[in-house]
C-alpha cells in the first residue's frame, strides 16, 4: 500500500503532523508513506521514522500549468492507493482525483468536491489532534499520541562533542531561542521578544545560577539578535546546529528551553525538555499540548509579544 500526505506549511506544521504519521504507520505497518511538503520544510523529516520519501512542491508559489502538470506526473508514477490532504483547496482534491487515487481524505468544507472521505475541522483544539482527526477518514479513531522525534545517533554524538567544545560540564545549560523569523515578519506576525527584556531574564539567571551556562540558539535570521545579546550580557555561548537532527539533539541536552512560538519550540516539546514559550499574536492553546507539565505557554495580555513582562517569565522559571 502506498499513501501520500499533502502537508503545506513550515517546519513547525510538519512536527505537529508527526503524530498523525505515526498512528497511520502503526495502522498500516507495511505501507510506504510519502509526504508532499514545501521545500523549506523538507529538513523536518530527518527526525521522522514514519515517512518513506519526501516530495517537494511550493504550495504558495506562483505555480503555472507546467508546475501542476509536472506534479501530476510525479504523483501518478507512484500509483498511490490513498491520500490525505491537510489543506482545504479544491484544486488539491482535483489533483488527487485526476491521479486516480481511490481514497482521498480531507477536511469537510463546501469545496471538498473531489474527496471521498471528509472529517470535521475542529480549529479550537491543539493543532496536533486537529491534524490527527484526519485519520477518521481511514476509520482510525485512536487518541492522538504525543509528538515525538527520532534523533540519529550521529547527531547525538555531534551535540556531545559541541558541549565539550563549549566547556559545558555536568551542570547542563539553559538554551534561549529568540525566534527571529523574516518570513513571519513579512506576514506581519511579530514573534520577536525585545533584546532588552531577554537581557533582564538572562541577568537574573546569571545572578542566581552563575555556574549554569546560557546558550543562544542561532538560526539563519538570528545573527543581529545574537550579537545584541552578547553585547548586552557578555558571558553567553552560541550554537548553530547545521540540521534538524543536530538541533533536536542539542535541545534535548538542555535543562531549560526559553523561546518564542517557533519550530525549535515544537522540537523542545517533542524531546521532553522543560520549555517556557512566549506567545504574542499566536494562540498558545493551539500550539502547545494541554496537560503537559513540561511546557509553559506565556500569552501576551495584549497580543504583542513585547508586552510580556520579564518578571512573568522569571516567575515561571523559579516557580519550583
- What's the pLDDT at 242? 96
Q: Give the burial class of 301: count Cβ atoms within 10 A of its Cβ; 0-12 exposed, 13-18 middle, 19 or more buried.
A: exposed
- What's the pLDDT at 184? 57
CA nearest neighbour of 101 among 117, 123, 121: 117
- What's the pLDDT at 110? 87
Residues 6+ apart with CB under 8 A from 297: 277, 279, 284, 285, 287, 288
What does pLDDT average to over the chain?
Answer: 93
- pLDDT tens for each residue of 209-229: 999 999 999 998 899 999 999
Catalogue all structural domains in the chain, each as residue range(s) with its CATH number.
2-138 (3.40.50.2000), 153-317 (3.40.50.2000)
How do 103-107 and 82-85 pair as beta strands?
parallel
Q: Report which listed range, 54-63, 103-112, 307-316, is most confident.
A: 307-316
Q: Where are the alpha helices (DSSP H) in the chain?
A: 11-27, 65-78, 90-98, 127-132, 153-165, 182-186, 195-208, 223-233, 244-252, 263-271, 284-287, 310-317
- pLDDT tens for each residue of 172-213: 999 999 876 555 556 666 788 999 999 999 999 999 999 999
pLDDT tier at 171, thresholds 50, 70, 90: confident
Residues 6+ apart with CB under 8 A from 44: 11, 14, 15, 37, 244, 263
pLDDT tier at 82, thresholds 50, 70, 90: very high
The helix/strand/coil state of 127 is: helix
pLDDT score of 170 more than 90: no
Burial per residue of 122-154, b for 16 or more beta-carbon CB atoms within 10 angstroms, e otherwise? eeeebbbbbbbbbbebbeeeeebeebbbebeee
Is residue 97 within 8 A of residue 76, CB to CB? The reply is no
- What's the pLDDT at 94? 87
Q: What is the mean pLDDT of residues 110-124?
A: 93
- What's the pLDDT at 161? 96
- What's the pLDDT at 214? 98
Q: What is the mean pLDDT of residues 6-14?
A: 95
- pTM attached to this predicted model: 0.92
Residue 188 gets the label, from left (phi > 0), alpha (psi -120 to 50) or beta, of: left
pLDDT tier at 30, thresholds 50, 70, 90: very high
Q: Measure Cα distances from 232 to 202, 218, 222 in Å.
A: 10, 16, 15
Amino acid at each position: 500500500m502506498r499513501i501520500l500526505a499533502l502537508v503545506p506549511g513550515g517546519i513547525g506544521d510538519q512536527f505537529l503532523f508527526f503524530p498523525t504519521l505515526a498512528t497511520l504507520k502503526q495502522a498500516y505497518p507495511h505501507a510506504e508513506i510519502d509526504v508532499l511538503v514545501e521545500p523549506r520544510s523538507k529538513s523536518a523529516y530527518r527526525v521522522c521514522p514514519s515517512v518513506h520519501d519526501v516530495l517537494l512542491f511550493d504550495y504558495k508559489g506562483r505555480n503555472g500549468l507546467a508546475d501542476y502538470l509536472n506534479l501530476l506526473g510525479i504523483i501518478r508514477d507512484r500509483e498511490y492507493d490513498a491520500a490525505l490532504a491537510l489543506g482545504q483547496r479544491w484544486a488539491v482534491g482535483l489533483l488527487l482525483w485526476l491521479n486516480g487515487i481511490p481514497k482521498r481524505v480531507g477536511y469537510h468544507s463546501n469545496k471538498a468536491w473531489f474527496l471521498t472521505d471528509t472529517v470535521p475541522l475542529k480549529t479550537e483544539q491543539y493543532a496536533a489532534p486537529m491534524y490527527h482527526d484526519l485519520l477518521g477518514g481511514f476509520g482510525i479513531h485512536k487518541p492522538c499520541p504525543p509528538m515525538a522525534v527520532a534523533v540519529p545517533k550521529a547527531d547525538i554524538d555531534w551535540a556531545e562533542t559541541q558541549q565539550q567544545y563549549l566547556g559545558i560540564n555536568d551542570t547542563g545549560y539553559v538554551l534561549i531561542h529568540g525566534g527571529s523569523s523574516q518570513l513571519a515578519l513579512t506576514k506581519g506576525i511579530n514573534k520577536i521578544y525585545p533584546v532588552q527584556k531577554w537581557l533582564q531574564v538572562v541577568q537574573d539567571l546569571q545572578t542566581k545560577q552563575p555556574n549554569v551556562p546560557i546558550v543562544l540558539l542561532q538560526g539563519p535570521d538570528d545573527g543581529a539578535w545574537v550579537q545584541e545579546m552578547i553585547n548586552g550580557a557578555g558571558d553567553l555561548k552560541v550554537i548553530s546546529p547545521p540540521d534538524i537532527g543536530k538541533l533536536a539533539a542539542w535541545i534535548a541536552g538542555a535543562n531549560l528551553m526559553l523561546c518564542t512560538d517557533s519550530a525549535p519550540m515544537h522540537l523542545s516539546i517533542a524531546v521532553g525538555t522543560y520549555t517556557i514559550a512566549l506567545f504574542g499574536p499566536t494562540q498558545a492553546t493551539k500550539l502547545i499540548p494541554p496537560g503537559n507539565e513540561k511546557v509553559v505557554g506565556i500569552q501576551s495580555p495584549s497580543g504583542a509579544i513585547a508586552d510580556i513582562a520579564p518578571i512573568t517569565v522569571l516567575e515561571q522559571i523559579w516557580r519550583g
